[in-house]
Amino acid sequence: MKIAIIKYNAGNTQSVAFALDRIKVEYDITDNPEVITRADKVIFPGVGEASSTMNFLKERKLDKLIPSLKQPVLGICLGMQLMCEYSEENATQCLGIFPFSVKKFNATHVHKVPHTGWNSLTQCSGWLGSQFDNTFVYFVHSYYVPLNGYTVARTEYIAPFCAALEKDNFFAVQFHPEKSGETGERVFRKFLEL
């Protein structure tokens, strides 16, 4: 199986690569459209700011390539947010794979933002499956995707939000499986089995 990790300015690319090393899976970190298109599975990592990251993707024409992919694609954190239509983070037009807007959490002294730390998944379905109900995964983000028809896992912070998505061959998680211990490894395996 050929796995491509999309190479761009995402902050967690190396961590995703290390996580795949730990489960003994081989991969290419690449921005070569041919290699990405031919891969069996594609991982789209993401840590950083939405608008500058979208500009980076546009410069490399990855903004056209990613939505056209036919194999299973997994977006992580900012990767998931960029797969949506629009983000409130610096009013950014995103890739438009998932038809939603990404919103900012309202910080309070009780609910700090960024939402940082381990939080649990509930109502897991679709590609994740109910085995992930009540498992803890690691989050760090200030923007979120509201619950929607493609939600396959939810997490509660201030209000319930969308922790994982599935639409056709596109899959995404708001949390960081590469930083979520054994649970995170199971999430990667689940995706790689699709």
Which residues contact another protein by CB under 8 A?
Answer: 11, 14-15, 18-19, 21-22, 47-49, 107-110, 112-120, 136, 138, 140-142, 156-157, 176, 178-182, 184-185
Joined together, the tokens standing for residue 7 give 């190479």
Instruction: State the minimum distance, in angstroms, from the CB of residue 138 to another protein.
Output: 6
CB atoms within 10 A of CB 168: 10
31, 59, 95, 133 from 7: Cα distances, Å: 5, 13, 16, 31
Exactly one of 77, 94, 124, 162 is catalytic; which is it? 77
Residue recorded with tokens 């396959």: 152
CB atoms within 10 A of CB 51: 15
Instruction: State the minimum distance, in angstroms, from the CB of residue 111 to another protein.
Output: 8
Active site residue 77: yes
Active site residue 84: no
State which residue, 22 or 61, has the beta carbon closest to another protein: 22
Count of residues in the chain: 194
State which residue, 34 or 182, has the beta carbon closest to another protein: 182
